[in-house]
Amino acid sequence: MRTPQRSTLTQFLIEERRRFPHASGDFNALILGVALACKSIARAVAQGELAGMLGNHAADAAGAGGSINVQGEVQKKLDVYSNEAFVRFNEWGGHLAGMASEEMEQPYQIPAQFPRGKYLLVFDPLDGSSNIDVNVSVGSIFSVLRAPSAGEGAARDVTEADFLQPGAQQVAAGYALYGPATMLVLSVGTGVHGFTLDADLGEFMLTHPKLQVPADTQEFAINASNSRFWEPPVKRYVDECLAGRTGERGKDFNMRWIASMVAEAHRILMRGGVFLYPRDSKDPRQPGRLRLLYEANPVGFLIEQAGGRASTGRQPVLGLAPSALHQRVGLVFGSRHEVERIERYHAEPMPCDDASPLFAERSLFRT
């Protein structure tokens, strides 16, 4: 029996474009530019120490210390390389009005020698980079928005306000996973599709069409070392999962934690599950840990396009209006029924089972 011909990423994008006869092709060219950046990063990740890519990026020419990004984190060499790859492969094509990155404090302006387009590209160039030195899967996350300045003339620079769009307004989102195989997972608003890099051809081939997140699951992912900082609804949910078959849920759960959100999202897209990086009290100044524009929105878009749900725990994350370029939020995503349960726990008043009798309803202080 003849093996069916697989579509390349280019063929897939052309087929999608045919649904819109008046499309200019700029969007397809933009996605292919992103894919090229991801191929370059995949090669650098695979070479690792052979190419001198491991370790921290030097803060100065003498190599002392390590450079710090806008998030207050020490940059890895591959963080810097990956950010430069996204910029280099996407600034020149005439499809973008500007870019924003987790690694850059301000929006990136398209150089004057290149034409400007109608889209904005937002990205986390290398998610999970703390795992690089121990050879655990990392990835890149990206999001495409329409530029509000489109049609206002090519002279206008983009501003931070141009990027502050709710996740529901994303035109496309995706991630590249650099693991045993390099994969590009993409949604252009018509479902979620996975492409695997064929190293011989140098092409992303469609291998996982129409991915769907099961509505139910028996897996959850959370960093349990932060349990003392969790809010009561999160603690309630995790305790119920840990109680297993003899507890309220009546079934056993497995716990996973990779510390690479791309890898966590990929596992959930492949077989279901729920991921929690909720708001907690560890740093009261922050309403969460994950970046809304670079991480929560694109992953939330993919999960919801695949039939799952993405939330802050209190509201759908794609409906949240950003207030700052590097804004952080709590994030819960994955199998719909589990996320809805966590949202319900946040909305319900907490039971007072452990309250002292002195302060119970029949106490001296009853009102």
What is the pLDDT at residue 154? 53
Contacts for 318 with CB less than 8 Å, ≥ 6 apart: 166, 167, 168, 170, 297, 300, 301, 304, 310
Q: Which residue has 């726990």 as its token pair?
A: 345
At residue 24, the pLDDT reads 73
State how beta strands 309-311 and 182-187 pair.
unpaired
C-alpha distances (whole Å) from 137 to each of 100, 193, 292, 293, 341 are 24, 20, 22, 22, 30
Check whether 224 has a pLDDT greater than 50. yes
- 275 DSSP 8-state letter: E
Give the model's pLDDT for residue 67. Answer: 66
Residues 330-355: pLDDT tens digits?
999 999 999 999 999 999 977 655 44
Q: What is the pLDDT of residue 239?
A: 98
**Number of CB atoms found within 10 A of residue 241's CB:** 22
What's the average model confidence in pLDDT over 56-70? 54
pLDDT confidence of residue 367:
40
What's residue 286's pLDDT? 87
Q: Average pLDDT, stretch 171-194?
A: 97
Tokens representing 147 are 């530029």
CB of 90 within 8 A of CB of 143? no
Q: Average pLDDT, stretch 152-177?
A: 90
pLDDT at residue 58 greater than cutoff 80 = no
Q: Measured on CA atoms in the order 332, 335, 338, 341, is the torsion positive or negative?
A: positive
CA angle 333, 17, 160 (to 5 degrees): 55
* pLDDT classification of 131: cutoffs 50, 70, 90: confident
What does the pLDDT read at residue 155?
63
Query: So what's the pLDDT on residue 365?
Result: 42
What the chain holds in terms of domains, given with CATH numbers, is 9-208 (3.30.540.10), 219-347 (3.40.190.80)
State the chain's maximal CA–CA distance in angstroms: 82
* Distance separating alpha carbons of residues 141 and 213, to the nearest angstrom: 19
Q: Which of 104, 107, 119 is nearest to 34 (CA)?
A: 119
In degrees and rounded to multiples of 5, residue 345 shows phi and psi of: -65, -35
Is pLDDT above 60 for 151? Answer: no
What is the model's pLDDT at position 19?
81
Confidence label for 362 from pLDDT (cuts 50, 70 and 90):
very low
Instruction: Give me the mean pLDDT over the 278-304 stretch.
Output: 94
pLDDT at 21: 67
The conformational region for residue 15 under phi > 0 = left, psi -120 to 50 = alpha, else beta, is alpha
**Residue with the larger pLDDT of the pair 64 and 139:** 139
Amino acid of residue 164: L
Q: Taking all residues of the chain, what is their mean pLDDT, rounded to a whole number?
A: 89
| pLDDT at 49 (0 to 100) | 86
Q: What is the pLDDT of residue 129?
A: 81
- Give the count of beta carbons closer than 10 Å to the beta carbon of residue 152: 10
How confident is the model at residue 57, as a pLDDT? 66
pLDDT at 60: 45
Angle between helices 26-47 and 9-17 (to 10 degrees): 160
What tokens appear for 288 in the block? 């969460």
Q: How far apart are the first and last CA of the chain?
A: 79
